[in-house]
Amino acid sequence: MSKSQLLQSGMSTPRAPAAIDTTDGRSRAVVDAVLPVVDGGRFAVKRVAGDTVRITAHVFTDGHDAPRVMLQWWKDGDPNRHELAMKLRYNDEWLGDFVPPTIGLYHYTVVAWVDAFESWRHELERRVDADDIRLAARVGATEIAAAAERASGGDREALAGWAKALEAGAADPDMEVAALKALALDDDLGATAGRHPDRSLETRFAAELPLIVDRERAACSSWYELFPRSAGDEPGRHGTFKDVETRLPMIAAMGFDVLYFPPIHPIGREQRKGRNNALVTEPGDVGSPWAIGAAEGGHKDILPALGTAADFRHLVAAAKDHGLEVALDIAFQCAPDHPYVKAHPKWFRWRPDGSVQYAENPPKKYQDIYPFNFESEDWEGLWSELKSVFDHWIAEGVTIFRVDNPHTKSFAFWEWAIGEVKREHPGTIFLAEAFTRPKVMHRLAKLGFSQSYTYFTWRNSKEELTEYFTELSQGPGVEYFRPNPWPNTPDILHAQLQGGEEAMFKARLVLAATLAANYGIYGPAFELLEHLPRNPGSEEYLDSEKYQLRHWDWSPEAGLRPFITRVNKIRREQPALRGNRSLKFLDIDNDQLIAYSKESEDGTNVVVTVVNLDPRNTQSGNLTLKPYDIGVPDDQPFQMHDLLSDQRFTWSGQSHYVMLEPHRVPAHILLVRRRVRDERDFDYYV
Amino acid sequence: MSKSQLLQSGMSTPRAPAAIDTTDGRSRAVVDAVLPVVDGGRFAVKRVAGDTVRITAHVFTDGHDAPRVMLQWWKDGDPNRHELAMKLRYNDEWLGDFVPPTIGLYHYTVVAWVDAFESWRHELERRVDADDIRLAARVGATEIAAAAERASGGDREALAGWAKALEAGAADPDMEVAALKALALDDDLGATAGRHPDRSLETRFAAELPLIVDRERAACSSWYELFPRSAGDEPGRHGTFKDVETRLPMIAAMGFDVLYFPPIHPIGREQRKGRNNALVTEPGDVGSPWAIGAAEGGHKDILPALGTAADFRHLVAAAKDHGLEVALDIAFQCAPDHPYVKAHPKWFRWRPDGSVQYAENPPKKYQDIYPFNFESEDWEGLWSELKSVFDHWIAEGVTIFRVDNPHTKSFAFWEWAIGEVKREHPGTIFLAEAFTRPKVMHRLAKLGFSQSYTYFTWRNSKEELTEYFTELSQGPGVEYFRPNPWPNTPDILHAQLQGGEEAMFKARLVLAATLAANYGIYGPAFELLEHLPRNPGSEEYLDSEKYQLRHWDWSPEAGLRPFITRVNKIRREQPALRGNRSLKFLDIDNDQLIAYSKESEDGTNVVVTVVNLDPRNTQSGNLTLKPYDIGVPDDQPFQMHDLLSDQRFTWSGQSHYVMLEPHRVPAHILLVRRRVRDERDFDYYV
């Protein structure tokens, strides 16, 4: 692909919204502040197919004339534009809703014009003087005759007739003014005229705003990460895709819907890391899966010990049968013996001694990895090849990619590559694994990543969690940044988990799973309470799977699996937990207890979660929850059904005592059930 | 002027920021969120010449390389761009300051690139391994040699020598690594290399943001409105420009700097209004000055009874000698006998009976006024003519225009006309008299009006004033909307003033004059406590000057003149009162007392104003003011010097008792004086 082709795709460099002008000074309508918008239309707003997309705009004109306002929306490349009338809410703010029916890239904008016919009608309505009304009727006749000219068929005939009748009525001294006014204000004919407005002076908003419509899993998903090489059932044997297949029923039963693997490619032998990140290997050491590429191949190949391409395709299909989508880890970097290094030396930055500086993410050093040079003079070749890696795995059935450290690769590349892939495969989901500075993480989300890792792992106190998730659910990122919090990852064993307390693991799981619509865990380490760090103060696991095979207990009842199963079931069954925007933190007078509510878009499903952040002590407090805020009359009791314990509590008023014992369950996930009374005067809660 | 010329001026229709792309996929720097900005660069930010303009931007790159960031600014049309290095504040936010030296239109933008040399230096700094350092020295030698190629003269020589020395040192096993590292990190040579960066892959922010730099009076002014026809000293005689000249010393002594006249043009005879807005005139009725145009001429002519064009020029010059600028009222509308009506019938909307619908601003009816039709097919002719009205009066010495009801004329026209006028006469100031819906008022300010009337007249309670002036001083409009509050206008005698209480008049004056940097009054009605409405419930003055001559007491000591003189003197002397952004409302435990502070940009001048909103009763309360917040150590006393009464109070701590007796003075304007101790241990407050 040539450079000009790459740039023609339009997504590789910053770009201002397209200017669309009216080029006629007589255009008097003003269209301003069309929302939602990300950076003036430079980036797309994200939604899910079937969602109602609400657009608002400020529209007005000079003087007292009536503007008419239309929302236009269309699928990228589709010449047909849908158009619908927006409604005035108040204070010059107009709104319109539409539902994009399918996934893909859309655009929307707002057009408006000053409507002479409507302005005339409004004006006429408040006239009382007979001469005024007769004159107004003649003015209207002219407007209506013009509308007739623009119409055809029955409308044309009806309007022409109406214009004539008004003209004649105005001239007829015997026609009563009240009758004339009634004729002029005829609703049906008015609606007919309204269908044929003069739009020659319409104003278009200066930008056509982009909208990415994803499938629901982009917005709501439960991830389970495992290392296929540890999926075997005998200690010491390298696991395979076939082994993973035997784990599918258990993982699906736990309620996950995304099964994510670290890289599955041949692992470099040069500079291979030993166990616990040692710089030298022992015989049999398997190396890090992120040190991609060896004689057997690179990013489009499979580590032979895991199986064949056919095995992989079989696994992907089997997973799908279990309701699981396979997510692949895409790490754009090379082991020193990756075939790219010899075939494309221009893609690396060579030093005077003929070496390449290995990758670093201070303080971490990746001696087994060469980074790509995105300033390569062959950047077009590099971009095309990297994008073809996605194409390859999509052809193998992969639909979701977790991208490793995207913030150490060129932003322009991501915007182009994700745009291109989604143009051809709009259902593809990209998760950005960028644990870096906030503005960089936001940029990646704007560029096209569907989901983003978060700082959740390091947000532990009530204050930190409240502040962070308020930002995530209410801040500007809400239009494009979909958080995907994880209690642990192969790289992050937070100090909070290093005590190995079951209550802490449960609390962190409930927080991730209920605070955000997307979440994930790295298992089986998580549910088996793996908690020893490589060394004190480290967030690295001891004997990490990153550098060695592990052998796990795969029985369905082991560790937290039953608990996780229940939490995921609650997530699936409660629409309130499928979104982020409704999140509201509730007042509770104990710093170790955190409480928040979420509700479904229609407000009928309300879930209140309370978590004890202290893994050792029972904590209690008074939770403030006003019945009115959850759709219950203030004087009525309501039932709180704890979906974790299946207990039901009847609450009334606005202050509610809550106690959580960490050695039992450190959380409530409470479904609000409202009272109904049947014909026999029995009360039920539904 | 042709339509295409009008539109070429580029200001008549919505327009997106100009796209400036790098067109090279290797550009790795990201420039985002350049502030301040209005609507993505669609409209200009406003500042005053000599102000420091602070620009911030989010700039970063992938990975760990160092970006370099430059702020570019230039005067419109000047091919020379100033460029200065921006500094990293924190969290990828960079800042740069510049001071536009003269008035006019400016632009600014931000460019950035990944600096290979700086990145190499940062990298080298943390290296300790000897081999690493020798290799790094060789890498650096290549970068420095490349910088030498870009340099010339002494820099080129110095860099070439440095590159050679590094190369040689790295190869010399006898050279100590510490010495080699020191050579590589040489600060002077580093600075030399920094002057010759490789900017071939630089990224430009997607927009060049506009900045209107005005003279100070656009941002800080005190207006006095009078009807010249009432300026005479004999009752019943039509006042003249010569009469106005005799009033100049008194008006200047009161401390005003803008003298504003309602329209001074010939007044229509057809449909002329009588006294108190009567639909029929009595002999001798002078009509409304806003019913512009008659046989004697139109918008470029002077009502003969006021004097000649020469008299007007003389008055403008005399006013200037008194430090007063004359502001003219521009009301784009015509009496039925305005010469335009016959000469340019296309500029009006004719009804089938050959009439034109008179102007209305419901519920007000202006039977004596025809509006222009901005949808005229000759809109270009109309625009050109209206713009030439400004040109005419600028040629006559006028520098400030108060525009009547701009919201009932086309927005596109204003943007074009103000842009054109200011391009030729950048010192021109436009005040928008639009009392209408908030978004419309904001749009006019964005389009170019220098100052805007406000809702102040109808914001009366402490809560209303606090909310409104917080919005005006802290809201998004702060970049472009300069409020100009008036306690009264010829159209607005608020109910609060209709009691005629001196305390209320004084309180409203102090509020307007200290809450906003621009303010004005309609006199002598205001200072003479004119307060009778035309009828109960009306905001119209009884016997309004709008329809008849009035005779006023012009003596310098009459009514509130001494009080106003003192308030304006305080405004002139206290830099804190020259801006709006520093406004902070202070807590005071009495709803009838409002208190707020303002400080100068450097924080040295702090003024605290307290106003009793109750004109009848003494009110007292405890004001919370922490010494630390006004630059005083918390344990030290400070002096509050009431600039109205000249009393001085010594305060300490953070709670301060305040009492205001409305029949004396309903306000304090307190200058904070900080304690200094001289060499003899005497305390002074300065």
Question: Residues A467-518: pLDDT tens digits?
Answer: 999 999 999 899 999 999 999 999 999 999 999 999 999 999 999 999 999 9
Collect all residues of chain A within an 8 Å Cβ-Cβ radius of residue B355.
135
CB contact at 8 A, B92 and B54? no
- A443 vs B32: CB contact, 8 Å cut-off? yes
C-alpha B527/C-alpha B559 separation (Å) is 5
Q: Which residues of B touch A29 (CB under 8 A)?
A: none
| 3-state SS assignment for residue B269 | coil
Show the tokens assigned to B18: 């100009």
Neighbouring-strand partners of residue B489: B492
Q: Residue B469's pLDDT is what?
A: 98
Contacts of A438 in chain B (CB under 8 A): 91
User: What Rg do the C-alpha atoms of chain B give, in angstroms?
Assistant: 31
Mean pLDDT of A384-408: 98
Res B441: pLDDT: 97
Q: What is the pLDDT of residues A533-578, one digit of tens each?
A: 999 999 999 999 999 999 999 999 999 999 999 999 999 999 999 9
CB contact under 8 A, B16 and A351: no
Q: How confident is the model at residue A8 (pLDDT cuts 50, 70, 90)?
A: very low
**Which 3 state secondary structure label does DSSP give B640?**
strand
Q: Which residue of B has its CA nearest to A34?
A: B39
Q: Do A17 and B17 touch (CB under 8 A)?
A: yes
The CA-atom distances, in angstroms, between A613 and each of A510, A610, B3, B269 are 11, 10, 69, 82
- Residue B141, min C-alpha distance to chain A (Å): 10
CB B92 within 8 A of CB B30: no
- For the stretch A454-481, pLDDT in tens is 999 999 999 999 999 999 999 989 999 9
Distances (CA, A) of B39 to A168, A273, B35, B484: 50, 52, 11, 23
What does the pLDDT average to over A335-362?
A: 93
User: CATH second-level architecture of A224-572?
Assistant: Alpha-Beta Barrel (3.20)
The tens digit of pLDDT for each residue in B371-420 reads 999 999 999 999 999 999 999 999 999 999 999 999 999 999 999 999 99
Strands B209-214 and B45-48: parallel
A493 within 8 A of A533, measured Cβ to Cβ: yes
| A397 burial type by CB count under 10 A (0-12 exposed, 13-18 middle, 19+ buried) | middle
Q: Which residues of B touch A476 (CB under 8 A)?
A: none
Instruction: State how far residue A62 is from chain B, nearest Cα, in angstroms.
Output: 5
Cα–Cα dist A441/A435, whole Å: 7
Mutate one of A2, A4, A13, A201 to test the B interface: name it (highest B CB count within 10 A): A13
Q: Is the pLDDT of residue B17 over 70?
A: no
> Nearest residue on chain A to B19, judged by CA atoms?
A16
* Lowest mean pLDDT segment, chosen from A23-32, A410-419, B578-587: A23-32
Measured in angstroms, the CA of A354 and the nearest CA of chain B are apart by 10
**Residue type at B411 in one-letter notation:** F
Report whether pLDDT(B1) > 80: no
- Reference A388, options A519, A471, A281, A298; nearest CA is A298
pLDDT per position as a tens digit, B140-168: 999 999 999 999 999 999 999 999 999 99
* Catalytic residue set of A: 404, 433
pLDDT at residue number A7: 39
Six token digits for residue B657: 């008792």
What residues contact residue A98 under an 8 Å CB cut-off, 6+ apart? A52, A53, A55, A71, A73, A82, A84, A108
Question: To probe the interface with A, which of B13, B200, B382, B446 has the most A CB atoms within 10 Å?
Answer: B13
The answer to whether the CB of A28 falls within 8 A of the CB of B374 is yes
The structure tokens 């953070």 sit at B654
How do A370-371 and A400-404 pair as beta strands? unpaired
Contacts of A381 (CB under 8 A, 6+ apart): A344, A346, A347
Cα gap B140→A351, rounded to integer Å: 10
| Inter-residue contact A505 to A526 (CB < 8 Å) | yes
- pLDDT, one tens digit per residue, over B349-384 is 999 899 998 988 777 889 899 999 999 999 999 999
Element (H, E) at A8: helix A3-8
The domains spanning B3-115+200-213 and B584-685 adopt the same CATH topology: yes
Q: Which of A515, A501, A499, A509 is nearest to A464 (CA)?
A: A515
0.90 surpassed by pTM = yes
pLDDT at B5 over 50: no
Of all residues in chain B, the percent with pLDDT exceeding 70 is 97
Specify the amino acid at residue B381.
G
- Residues of A in Cβ contact (< 8 Å) with B410: 25-26, 28, 62
The terminus-to-terminus CA distance of chain B in angstroms comes to 59
Is B659 within 8 Å of B620 (Cβ atoms)? yes
DSSP B95-159: EEEE---SSEEEEEEEEEEE-HHHHHHHHHHT---HHHHHHHHHHHHHHHHHHHHH--HHHHHHH
Distance, in angstroms, between A205 CA and closest chain B CA? 7
Question: CA of B333, closest CA in chain A: separation in Å?
Answer: 13
pLDDT at B35 over 50: yes
Task: State how far the Cα of B393 lies from the Cα of B401, in Å rounded to an integer.
Answer: 9
Helix (H) or strand (E) holding B166, with range, is helix B153-171
ipTM of the complex: 0.91
- Token pair 């060499």 in the structure block, residue: B679
Q: Are strands A400-404 and B364-366 parallel, antiparallel or unpaired?
A: unpaired
Sign (positive or negative) of CA dihedral A385, A386, A391, A395: positive
pLDDT band at B23 (very low <50, low <70, confident <90, very high): low
Each residue's pLDDT tens digit, A28-61:
999 999 999 999 999 999 999 999 999 999 999 9
Q: Which secondary structure element, helix H or strand E, spans residue A157, and what is its range?
A: helix A153-171
Query: Encoding tokens for residue A470?
Result: 């308020």
Side chain identity at residue A674, one-letter code? R
The active-site residue, picked from B404, B479, B540, B614, is B404
Residue among A25, A411, A416 whose CB faces B412 most closely: A25
The reply to whether residue A352 touches residue B62, judged by beta carbons under 8 angstroms, is no
Pick the residue from chain B with its C-alpha nearest to A441: B62
CB contact under 8 A, A27 and B15: no
Q: How distant is the Cα of B261 from the closest Cα of chain A, in angstroms? A: 24
Which residue of chain A is at minimal alpha-carbon distance from B200? A375
Contact in structure between A521 and A527 (CB atoms under 8 Å): yes
Of A559, A487, A546, nearest to A520 (Cα)?
A487
The CA distance from A216 to the nearest CA of chain B, in Å, is 30
Percent of chain A, pLDDT > 90? 90
Q: Where are the alpha helices (DSSP H) in A254-359?
A: 309-321, 339-343
The pLDDT mean for chain A works out to 94
pLDDT the model gives residue A23? 63
Q: Is B400 exposed, middle or buried (0-12, 13-18, 19+ CB in 10 A)?
A: buried
- Gap between the Cα atoms of A32 and A18, Å rounded: 15
DSSP letters spanning A355-369: -BPPEEETTEEETT-
What is the C-alpha to C-alpha distance for residues A326 and A320, in angstroms, rounded to an integer? 8
How many residue pairs from chains A and B have C-beta atoms closer than 8 A? 192
Name residue A539's amino acid: E
Contact A250, A226 (CB under 8 A): no
CB A37 within 8 A of CB A15: no
Mean pLDDT of B554-578: 97
Closest-CA residue of chain B to A205: B14
Residue A479 DSSP label: G
Alpha-carbon distance of B629 to B597, in angstroms, equals 10
Residue A628 near residue A634 (C-beta atoms within 8 A): yes
Query: What digits encode the pLDDT tens for the residues B225-268?
Result: 999 999 999 999 999 999 999 999 999 999 999 999 999 999 99
> Residue B63: closest CA among chain A residues belongs to which residue?
A408
A18 CB neighbours in chain B (<8 A) are: 16
CATH architecture of the domain with residue range A3-115+200-213 = Sandwich (2.60)
Task: Give catalytic status of residue B157 as yes or no.
Answer: no
Nearest to A217 by CA among A428, A422, A425: A428
Q: How far is CA B244 from CA B226, B231, B315, B547, in A?
A: 9, 6, 8, 19
Residue spans of the domains in chain A: they are 3-115+200-213, 118-194, 224-572, 584-685
Chain A positions touching B380 (Cβ under 8 A) are: 25
Q: Do B383 and A25 touch (CB under 8 A)?
A: yes
Q: Do the Cβ atoms of B443 and A413 come within 8 Å? A: no
Alpha carbon distance A638, A632 (integer Å):
7
Q: How many CB atoms lie within 10 A of CB A153?
A: 7
Chain A residues touching B90 at Cβ < 8 A:
none
Q: Residue A288 above 60 pLDDT?
A: yes
- Segment holding A321, helix H or strand E: helix A309-321
Residues B390, B429: Cα–Cα separation, whole Å? 11
CB A277 within 8 Å of CB A547: yes
Distance CA B16, CA A266 (A): 49
Cβ within 8 Å of residue A432, ≥6 positions away: A403, A406, A407, A441, A444, A445, A449, A451, A452, A453
Assign 3-class secondary structure to A251-265.
Answer: HHHCCCCEEEECCCC
- What gap in Å lies between CA A290 and CA B675, rounded to an integer? 66
Please give the class, per CATH, of domain A584-685.
mainly beta
Q: What CA dihedral angle connects A387, A393, A399 and A401, to 10 degrees? A: -60
> What does the block give as tokens for B656?
């301060």
Question: Residue A35's closest CA among A106, A95, A120, A115?
Answer: A95
Assess whether the previous peptide bond of B524 is cis (omega < 30° from 0).
yes
Residue A682 pLDDT level (bands cut at 50, 70, 90) = confident
Q: Count of residues for chain A?
A: 686
- Give the pLDDT confidence score for residue A22 in this predicted structure: 47
Is the pLDDT at B16 greater than 70? The verdict is no
Task: Note whether B443 contacts A23, CB cutoff 8 Å.
Answer: no
DSSP bridge pairs for A599:
A606
* Tens digits of residue pLDDT in A205-231: 989 999 999 999 999 999 999 999 999
> What is chain A's Cα-based Rg?
31
